[in-house]
Structure 1
Amino acid sequence: MTSEAPLGEAGLLARMLPHLSASDRLEVGPGDDAAVVRLPSPRMVVTTDTLVEGHDFLPDATTPVWIGRKAAVQNLADVAAMGARPLALVVALSAPADTPASVFEELTIGLAGRAEAEGAEVVGGDLGRAEQLTVTVTALGALEEGRAPVLRSGARVGDVLAIGSARLGRSAAGLALVLSGRIRVDDGRIEGAGPHGDLVAWHDAPEPDLSLGWTVGRGASAMMDLSDGLVRDGTRIARASGVQLDLDGAALAPDAAQLEPLAVELDADPWSWVLHGGEEHAMLATFAAGAVPVGFRRIGRVLPAGGEKDHRVLLDGREIRGTGFDHFAAPV
């Protein structure tokens, strides 16, 4: 990064605000004490999440634009997984005092661009100082009148488990490359990844089809976004619904096969990336048998619970080792 003279908060905002669009539903936008947004429905859906430098991303292995896009995606996905349409993002950016103004500007470009792709917009937020770069996003969405939210608790025995993504494990494989120490991102160019640069890019800024959540996904019996791994998030659906989920190994085998070349390089297990890799943010849902909509693919089935508290995720009827990502505990 090139050094830049400090601009102060007003100067930073002058560089950031021109990148924000304003739709007709935005009555008062950035620049006042709070935004005023006209809601298409009185039923608001709200969620929030944070990315912290050193924990959720490494500056040398990503770009500010990608950080912004990822921060937007992980929040927009939560709204979409409820069957609601995203409307607006409120963003709090905190950074060290010597952070170049271009970082704030590029973060804004990433946030605003990804929000606009889903028909939403950045309507306001906050700037502050911190020891490391931190991006906190609150997403607002609207749920149509008369339409029930899609919860984790609706999966029924006999349903099909499906994922709104062509392949799984890409983000985890990209993270493995980043943690290998081979990767450096310079001005958007991924160096050191060889033929696997797309995996790093997917980890840094995943591009799931979130519209599946508020379109065809609204017919799901249960749904959530895949953020902490197929087994961990599947277990959340299983527990909430009082069932077991049985993954289909044959359906997931192509996912593992596409990652095999990198797994050989890194002496890793591609199945671990597929089963436990997080930060995909695709829609994970259950549907009635024979009713899986276009955009989703079948990866398993819903079974009765093995006992009163036996709500697990299985692979071809067998127990799966490992638990996926947990912020406060090391993965098994």
Structure 2
Amino acid sequence: MASTTPHGSTPHGEAALLARMLPHLRTGSEVEVGPGDDAAVVRLPSPRLVVTTDMLVEGHDFMMHATTPRWIGRKAAVQNLADVAAMGAAPLALVVAISAPASTPATVFEELTIGLTARAEADGASIVGGDLGRAEDLTVTVTAMGSLPADQEPVRRSGALPGDVLAIGAPRLGRSAAGLALVLGERALVRSGADGKPTVMLRSIQDPSAAHLLQWHDAPDPDLSLGWTVGRSARAMMDLSDGLVRDGRRLAAASQVTLDLDPAALAPDVEQLTGLAAELDADPWAWVLHGGEEHALLATFAPGGVPEGFRPIGQVRAPAVHGPEVLLDGAPIEGAGFDHFG
């Protein structure tokens, strides 16, 4: 890492951990000084920098028995890269801070690095540095940076207009929530093989899509390139991290509009989840409407302007009598989605 300050020693030692992690960090041509020095130096393709940060905490954002370090790394990268993409910016660089108990095996750090690097590279970014520390629980904090062209306005949440089409940059919603239900229902166990690849074990589950849904929760794989390519034509856009309804309300409030979801457009999303939902005695509509951690891009476009990669799921209307809201076929929706402090 570019800067490391271990808060307490580990049985492996900082130098030994870095020796295992650094070979997996490959940087792009825009990185002038990368991992291994006091700080990184990155050449900016434009003078406009987009910055965001987020963290994953063991026991709150992931359970070690139901995921792998490599998947945790990929998810940590995705949730930050998605915020950059939602502004219409192209990812550039990530800085990563990892804190863990002293007893954490060195392979965990190595596998986290492999997962982080793979996802960053897939979206054209480099990991340029970070920090190692000691903590009670494994925590991965990522700061992501992106760039906007000099003549490109950032795509904000506040630009939606009545008459716009509401669209999502994903073929299906609800997959992460379904995977989480497997974890919370203690129906899933995941182990890493010697090569770092996961083995998924399911208890009393027959649905053939269950393993895929679990993986989507542990390591979501949305097409974030939509954000800095066709998504730049959006009137408003945001990362879908806390559920379609909760995040939709944020976009609606910022734009002072009402979003009216189309149940027919979301019916295929629900249909793909009905088998597992029946086994878990769950409501697939709740997964689609309120499931978080999809990290797909929610956007509004001018009528007739929805680009390839996005699909319409509703309409933007003038604000309701009681103010901006999210409706389903004109009716209020029960439930609130994911709340970090709920």
TM over 0.5: yes
The RMSD of aligned alpha carbons is 0.9
Contact 1:84-1:141 at 8 Å conserved across structures: yes
2:152 aligns to what?
147
Q: TM-score, normalised by structure 2?
A: 0.94
* Number of the residue aligned with 1:324: 337
Within the candidate set 255, 267, 274, 1:260 is matched to 274
1:32-43 correspondence runs (5 A): 32-43=37-48
* Correspondence 1:244 to 2:249: no
**Aligned counterparts of 2:337 and 2:148: Cα–Cα separation in 1:** 30
Q: CA deviation at 1:306?
A: 1.3
CA distance in 1, matches of 2:300, 2:57: 32
1:323 aligns to what SS in structure 2? coil
AA matched with 1:272: A
2:273 aligned counterpart, secondary structure: helix
CA deviations 1:89-127 (Å, max 9, x no partner) are 000000000000000000000000000000001000000
User: Where has structure 1 moved over 3 Å in runs of 4 or more?
Assistant: none
- 2:143 maps to 1:130: no
Matched residue of 1:142: which SS? strand
- Tell me the amino acid that sits aligned with residue 129 of structure 2: G
Q: State which of 201, 204, 207 in structure 2 corresponds to 1:191.
A: 201
Partner of 1:218: 232
Cα distance, 1:293 vs. partner?
Answer: 0.2
Aligned partner of 1:310 in structure 2 is: 323
Q: How many residues align?
A: 324
C-alpha separation in 2, matches of 1:42 and 1:295: 29
CA shift for structure 1 position 6? 2.8
Q: CA deviation at 1:252?
A: 0.2
Distance in 2, Cα, partners of 1:243 & 1:186: 46
Quick check: 55-64 or 16-25, which moved more? 16-25
Tell me the distance in 2 between the aligned counterparts of 1:53 and 1:7. 21
Partner of 1:202: 216
Give the secondary structure class of the aligned counterpart of 1:310.
Answer: coil
Could you say which residue in structure 2 is the equivalent of 1:169? 174
**1:272-283 to 2 correspondences below 5 Å:** 272-283=286-297
Alpha-carbon distance in structure 2 between the residues aligned to 1:117 and 1:6 = 33
Give the gaps of 5 or more residues in structure 2: 1-9, 193-197
Question: Which amino acid is the alignment partner of residue 200 of structure 2?
Answer: I
Tell me the CA shift for residue 58 of structure 1.
Answer: 0.1
- In structure 2, how many angstroms separate the alpha carbons of the residues matched to 1:130 and 1:200? 27
With normalisation by structure 1, the TM-score equals 0.97
The aligned amino acid for 1:253 is A
Encode CA deviations 1:52-106: one digit per residue, 9 max, x unaligned.
0000000000000000000000000000000000000000000000000000000
CA distance in 1, matches of 2:146, 2:268: 34
Equivalent in the alignment of 1:106: 111
Query: 2 CA distance for matches of 1:165 and 1:260?
Result: 19
- Contact 1:168 1:280 survives alignment (8 Å): yes
Report percent identity of matched pairs.
72
**1:11 alignment partner in structure 2:** 16
Taking the aligned partners of 1:123 and 1:216, their CA distance within structure 2 comes to 28
Conserved? CA contact 1:6–1:101, under 8 Å: no
